[in-house]
Structure 1
Amino acid sequence: MRALLWVAALLVAAPAGAQMPPAARALMQHMSKGTRAAKVGDWATYRFDGGGLRVFYWRTAVVGEEKDKSGRDAVWVELEAGTHPAMKSPLMQMRMLVAREGDEIRYDAISRLFIGGPFDRPQEYSKEALEHVLKEEKDAQAQAQQARAADAKAPAPAGITPVIRSGKEQRLMTLAGTVTAVPVEVVFKGTVIKRIWVSREIPLMNLVKMEIPGIAHSMEVVEYGIDAKPRMVMPPPDAPKVRLEYADSVLPDLGAAADAEAAQKDSEDTP
């Protein structure tokens, strides 16, 4: 299922009219050789490179499981973002209780959410604030889906047909070591627009690497494992919660925070 999601992501990124050879088939053959459902302890850290000083890291980990308030099986997922791969002084921490259905973690079914920033102690979102944020996210996804549907109906210019293709399963060297992976590419007039490497060996998202050569942007796994422990310091039960009026302002602008930190470092290094 996750492999098909990555193919779907490539389709979204491809221009209207893109042709789909057996990319999904090659990917699913690779994933069928040993992929497993996400388990408590799974974690992965990625490096995002947006060019220049725009480099930061993102860590996802499954750190616990319990029943949610609706009686569904659910897992605690922690997310961290920062400018250091070990998440020293993270710019953002998030912990959420997410329902799971079979092998899939349902990120559209969040029942509890905690947010912490570089200068703020973690706080839980109130029921109203969480519902507000989830509704805004659902509305944004619906608008994006409508836009993609409109683009899909638009005919491609004559003689211009983008293609999605996959390569053979191979060993790929990454920042996290060498893994077995399959590349899937969007190609336009002989030029690779986007390339995604997918591997059954990487937990959670199965994503190894993503490249956008034209603008020199990339995302690559740095570390991964199966021994994750909770890292967010949880607030006491009687601590104030994030209310509706602050729900939109609590999540930090990670890009702006990374730029500010880089600018401060440059000023300190300048004699």
Structure 2
Amino acid sequence: MRASWAVIAVMLMAAPARAEENSAAREVMSHMARGARSARVGDWVTYRFDGGAGGMRIYYWRMAVVGEEKDKEGRDAVWVEMEAGMHPSMKSPLMQMRMLVAREGEQIRYDAISRLFVGGPTDRPQEYSQEALDHVLKTMDQEEKDNKVPDPEDAKVVLPAGVKPVLRTGKETRVMTLAGTVTVVPVELVMKKTVVKRMWISREIPLMQLAKMEIPGIAHSMEVAEYGIDAKPRMVLPPPSAPKVRLEYADRIFPDLPGMDAPKEPADSENAP
């Protein structure tokens, strides 16, 4: 999936018709065409997640583009850092990731990660071996397929009688966020008259172009807290000679965001740098 249009891609996959034939998709694309730009080095955005439970499961997630170089296949690529923590400024982050991701033109390709570093609150960052990285990417790809909203136009998809995902939008408007007031297009994904997800798409927000998102059924929400264009690298990388994460450890130490059920287990001491 192409990164800076990630939210748009998700919506188009959920749409019951091709983009050019769907009024909801046209509204969003028209909004984005009025000034949205692709990701650049320095772009960053921080989101506030509320996992329900009366505000007891609130955490923050930050994404930033912090550098660029050629990857091992000679493709143009950028370094993307991600952090998760309990404070918007990522004091004592619970997770850090840094990945080298290929790009086509101005679009970042998250299906083309060639290097990956992962660090935890008590673990020094480690680079994944190629074997472990391939395993992680395969797992992520399968999870994305499993979580994809069924497309009723797909003859292979059998939906229950009367169930048809519907994507609908409102007109372009202004909405208040934790990061200030931005121009958005509101989008709703509806199934059997029930709103499954609400999103507010904004061309003003870098990287994800997402201002807000709500999942009413489980009381989860996501809202932009801060963003800017001055990101610098924050992860301290291990020396080239440091041991890499091997395949047998990939599942165990690949980080889960706060609020996930599966706990993170520490890496084996034999594999620690």
What TM-score bracket applies, with the shorter chain setting the length? 0.7 to 0.9
1:6 Cα deviation (Å)? Answer: 2.9
What does the per-residue CA deviation read over 1:211-232, in whole Å, with 9 as the maximum and x for residues that have no partner?
Answer: 1123221111000000000000
Secondary structure class of the residue paired with 1:254: coil
- Residues in 2 aligned to 1:259 and 1:84: alpha-carbon distance in whole angstroms: 22
| Pairs within 5 Å for 1:119-158 | 119-142=122-145, 153-158=157-162
What does the per-residue CA deviation read over 1:12-45, in whole Å, with 9 as the maximum and x for residues that have no partner?
Answer: 668x89xx85011111111111111100000000
- Residues in 1 aligned to 2:215 and 2:65: alpha-carbon distance in whole angstroms: 28
Change (3 A) 1:258 1:139: closer
| Pairs within 5 Å for 1:238-249 | 238-249=241-252
- Residues in 1 aligned to 2:72 and 2:199: alpha-carbon distance in whole angstroms: 37
Change (3 A) 1:2 1:35: farther
Alignment-derived partner of residue 48 in structure 2: 47
- Higher mean C-alpha deviation, range 82-91 or range 129-138: 129-138
Alignment-derived partner of residue 204 in structure 2: 201
1:155 Cα deviation (Å)? Answer: 4.7
The answer to whether the Cα contact below 8 Å between 1:3 and 1:28 also exists between their aligned partners in 2 is no
Change (3 A) 1:162 1:236: closer
Q: Does 1:227 align with 2:230?
A: yes
Q: Does 1:92 align with 2:104?
A: no
What does the per-residue CA deviation read over 1:234-253, in whole Å, with 9 as the maximum and x for residues that have no partner?
Answer: 11121111112111111233
Gaps of at least 5 residues in structure 2 are 264-273
Alignment-derived partner of residue 218 in structure 1: 221
- Residues in 1 aligned to 2:72 and 2:63: alpha-carbon distance in whole angstroms: 23
Relative to its length, the structure with more helix (as a share) is 1
What does the per-residue CA deviation read over 1:120-160, in whole Å, with 9 as the maximum and x for residues that have no partner?
Answer: 000111122112222333344455569768797325524x6
Question: TM-score by structure 1 length?
Answer: 0.84
Alignment-derived partner of residue 257 in structure 2: 254
Change (3 A) 1:152 1:220: farther
Change (3 A) 1:140 1:192: closer
The answer to whether the Cα contact below 8 Å between 1:59 and 1:81 also exists between their aligned partners in 2 is yes
1:254 Cα deviation (Å)? Answer: 2.5
- Higher mean C-alpha deviation, range 226-235 or range 48-57: 48-57
1:192 Cα deviation (Å)? Answer: 2.7
Alignment-derived partner of residue 114 in structure 2: 111
Identity level (%): 65
1:48 Cα deviation (Å)? Answer: 0.9
- Residues in 2 aligned to 1:128 and 1:144: alpha-carbon distance in whole angstroms: 25
AA matched with 2:178: L
- Residues in 2 aligned to 1:146 and 1:162: alpha-carbon distance in whole angstroms: 8
- Residues in 1 aligned to 2:249 and 2:4: alpha-carbon distance in whole angstroms: 37
- Residues in 2 aligned to 1:142 and 1:214: alpha-carbon distance in whole angstroms: 22
What does the per-residue CA deviation read over 1:161-209, in whole Å, with 9 as the maximum and x for residues that have no partner?
Answer: 5532111111110011000000111234554331111011000110111
Change (3 A) 1:190 1:138: closer
- Residues in 2 aligned to 1:201 and 1:88: alpha-carbon distance in whole angstroms: 26
The answer to whether the Cα contact below 8 Å between 1:94 and 1:116 also exists between their aligned partners in 2 is yes
- Residues in 2 aligned to 1:201 and 1:226: alpha-carbon distance in whole angstroms: 12
